[in-house]
Structures are given as C-alpha cells and as structure tokens.
Structure 1
C-alpha cells in the first residue's frame, strides 16, 4: 500500500441527509488533510457508496453476495507507516482537541466503524476508482494470512483485480473511539477481525474480485463477512501537503476557516 505497513479503515454514515454537502466539504478539505499531516500517516482516500456516486453497486452484502440496500455511506482508508502512528501525542491531540468544524460535524456521524489493521499482504502497483471493502473474522490468523497472501497475488496476476490489500486488527489493540456512536463488539478469544480491500476499474469488476477472494478464503473466514461497494471521491498524499507541517503548532494543519464559515453562516 504505497510503502505503508498498516492501514486505518473507517466506515460511517450521516444522521441526516441535509448534512451531506457540508460533511463532504469538511472531510475533503479539512479533516483528511489534517490526519494525513500527522506523524506516521502517508496518505488518505475517501470513498462514497456506489449508488451515491452514480455507480451501479450499492450498500452491503453478506459474505460478498448481492449488495443490499443497507450499508455505510462512506469509507475512508489511511495508509500508515505502522500502527504506532495512532499512538502519537499529535494524534491524541487532534482527537482531544478537534477543530471547530470537526466539533460541529462529529455529531453528524453515524454507524461509525473503525478498524486499525496491520498489513498482511498487498498486490498491485496501481490504484482504481472502484473498491469493495470487506470485514470478516477468522479463528486461524496464520492460515488466513497465508491464504490471503497467495489469493491476492493470484487475483492481481490474473487481472481479476487492479489492486488488493489484506489486514488484520491486532487483538490487543483498543478499538474504542469517542466518535459517531461506534458500537464495539466484545472481543472473542481466539478470533481476529480481518479486512480485505479489492480495487478495480469498474464496480462489477471490484465486486467479482472481492467475491472470488471471499470464496478462496472461505475455509478460514467465520460466518458473517460483510462486503460493501464504494467509489473513490478524493485522496490526499503526504508529499502534497505543506512541507512545514511538523513545525506548526501541535504538528497539525490549521483549521480551514474560509470553507467552514460558509456553512456556519447558514
């Protein structure tokens, strides 16, 4: 994943439809760039549910089958140098002291799911606009990891997918997060949450590739895998941010007051 050894995957919805325009402005122009500017963050990509972007895929599915009407409206993934990027003082500061715009938008987030993953495997040199994000669990992480590594390589080599990544949530990692009413499932001893990201140039290609991966990994996945289709909206790369971010107060980008005031005045 472009030099990363870990990634942070996030799913969310909005509690009301009239918040969408402001959410997308805030998330695109302030929030994701702020996060990517923190130590250990390499890049961030924002996705919207397929139907909301005019695509043919929508919603979620059980074990990668036909998508349903339910599901997350947005998906965000950050490439990290390592999971210790989520343990820095700077990261703690942006959580504890949100910008005025972030403080305004946090209550709008719903169905929030946050999964910090150690990178297990990745395949493919390119990225693609259409993505299927899969959440699953396994009771055999070594077996799942070996199978995923082989399956991802085969999927990319045979052009089933443009890019594919697999990650696992370390069992000891605290998933608690004070945003969006996230519901944290009680950890089950011996089970590990795993995440698959399947990218293709078309929505159908991403869906078929994700389905193929799930079938290959079925012997190691527990029942209840969830797959959702998304389309890329925007991305931020660390190298495109101002070079002096580390020297700024708290090593973070300043609030975007101009765009924020447009919505505060409404």
Structure 2
C-alpha cells in the first residue's frame, strides 16, 4: 500500500462571504505546503455540489458541509504526522492559517485505508487511483454504535463483494477506496469542541472516484447504494466536485 494512514476534513463555511478567501488559502498556500512534505503521499479537496444537499438521510450535523479534504500519509506515519502538525503550527505563527472566520469543521480525523478498487476503464491500480485526475467523488460516511457487531461485519462483506463490484461497472466510475476511523485530530492551532473521540472502526468512509459528470454519475451510484443493507447511521452522503484551480468556487 502506498500510504498507511489517511486524514479527512469535512468543512462548512458558516459565513458565505469567506468562500473566496478560504479557497485561495487552501489552493495556493495550504495544500502546496502540505504536498511538499516528504511524508504526505497526496492530498486533495472537493466542493460539495448544491444538488447533493437535497440527498436524504444525512446527519443534520453534517448537512451544511461545503468541502471534503483528505491527505494520505507515507510510513513511518508517526513521523509524517508530526511533520504535518509542525507545519500547521508554523503556518499559524506565520499568520497564514488555518484560523479563518466562519469555518466550522465537524470532522477532523485520521482513518486507516481498508481497501482500494479500480474499474477496468481506469487502467491503473488502486494505489495509483488517488493521483489520477478525477471530476469528483461520491463520499459516504457511516457511523456504527458497535463497530465489531455481526451486522457491521455483514455490511462490510456486502460492500466488498456485492456493492463495490456493481459500482465499478457504472459508466463514469474510476474506482473506490474505503476507510476505517482511527482517531480524531488534536492540534494546537485549532479548536476541537466539534470532533468527538470515537471508537476505532466506528466510522466508515467510502470514496467513489468519478470520471463522468459528477451529478449524473453520482445519481447512478446512489441508486446502487440504496440497495445496500441499512446498517449504522448515515452521517454524510454527498457528491463533491473537483476544484478547478483556475475557476474555483467563491473566488
């Protein structure tokens, strides 16, 4: 596996006037600084589409999420995360973030990569899939009260053997990665009263990488996902589009 740890950030901008400054900071400052770290294998961010906000069943706590960001960390992950945290503190001292008015972060947590899958049309391995350009993702986050219950095991089995093989057949789907919750982020430069500590494995994130039109392809993905057994509590189900660095939203 090319990376042994992943990080997810679900971000809501409670002040709509901050979209421009937030995007400029993330695209041209924060993300390039992080990608330059030797322990960061890759990082990407997507903007939740307006159409997907009408998708039913999500936790109200996550209903206003505007952006989904993630980073992949190379081993040794302890050192990689320390260097990443040190950059976060340094950027605060430089006056370059991450404190931006109107930014709410209901999820800031590390996840263990579970398994990657590539469609035949993508031509690349699952390890290469994150580096490959995409038009967006369909992101699903599910919370389990008992992460090692029998019905949760059955849900993971169904996902691996039935659901994801069907998703890979959808025209416009490049591949899928799944992730299991490890622990929340705690960093000196950010307030952490909104990202609670949960048991390992208590949250499952599934990213479906989209080659096709995000709205149309994600609609077909959701139709297939609707057939899956209803196990756990849906935290987030959203279509998020790739962010064009030339024509990014809110600029």
**Shorter-chain TM band:** 0.7 to 0.9
Residue in structure 1 matched with residue 249 of structure 2 by the alignment = none
- 116-125 vs 106-115, which moves further: 106-115
Residue in structure 1 matched with residue 248 of structure 2 by the alignment = none
Of residues 80, 85, 92, the one that matches 2:85 is 92
Of residues 177, 200, 216, the one that matches 1:165 is 177
What secondary structure sits across from 2:52 in the alignment?
Answer: coil
Q: Give how far 1:28 is off.
A: 0.2
Residue in structure 1 matched with residue 70 of structure 2 by the alignment = 77
Q: Is the 8 A contact 2:10 2:108 kept in 1?
A: yes
Structure 2 residue 170 is the aligned partner of structure 1 residue 147:
no
For 1:195 and 1:83, how far apart are their aligned partners in 2? 23
For 1:167 and 1:176, how far apart are their aligned partners in 2? 19
Q: Give how far 1:234 is off.
A: 4.7
For 1:176 and 1:158, how far apart are their aligned partners in 2? 38
What secondary structure sits across from 1:215 in the alignment?
Answer: coil
Q: Is the 8 A contact 1:6 1:83 kept in 2?
A: no
**What's the TM-score once normalised by structure 1's chain length?**
0.69
Q: Is the 8 A contact 1:71 1:228 kept in 2?
A: no
Residue in structure 2 matched with residue 206 of structure 1 by the alignment = 218
Structure number with the higher helix fraction is 1
What secondary structure sits across from 1:162 in the alignment?
Answer: strand
Mapping of residues 233-244 of structure 1, within 5 Å: 233-234=243-244
Structure 2 residue 107 is the aligned partner of structure 1 residue 113:
yes
Q: Give how far 1:169 is off.
A: 0.8
Q: 1:16 to 1:213 in 2, by over 3 A?
A: same
What secondary structure sits across from 1:102 in the alignment?
Answer: coil
What secondary structure sits across from 1:20 in the alignment?
Answer: helix
Structure 2 residue 239 is the aligned partner of structure 1 residue 229:
yes
Structure 2 residue 142 is the aligned partner of structure 1 residue 136:
yes
**What's the TM-score once normalised by structure 2's chain length?**
0.72
What secondary structure sits across from 2:221 in the alignment?
Answer: helix
Residue in structure 2 matched with residue 54 of structure 1 by the alignment = none
Q: Is the 8 A contact 2:91 2:98 kept in 1?
A: no
Residue in structure 2 matched with residue 187 of structure 1 by the alignment = 198
For 1:83 and 1:182, how far apart are their aligned partners in 2? 29
For 1:82 and 1:142, how far apart are their aligned partners in 2? 28
Q: Is the 8 A contact 1:60 1:227 kept in 2?
A: no
For 1:174 and 1:114, how far apart are their aligned partners in 2? 6
Deviations 1:226-258 (A, max 9, x none): 2122110058xxxxxxxxxxxxxxxxxxxxxxx
For 2:239 and 2:42, how far apart are their aligned partners in 1? 21
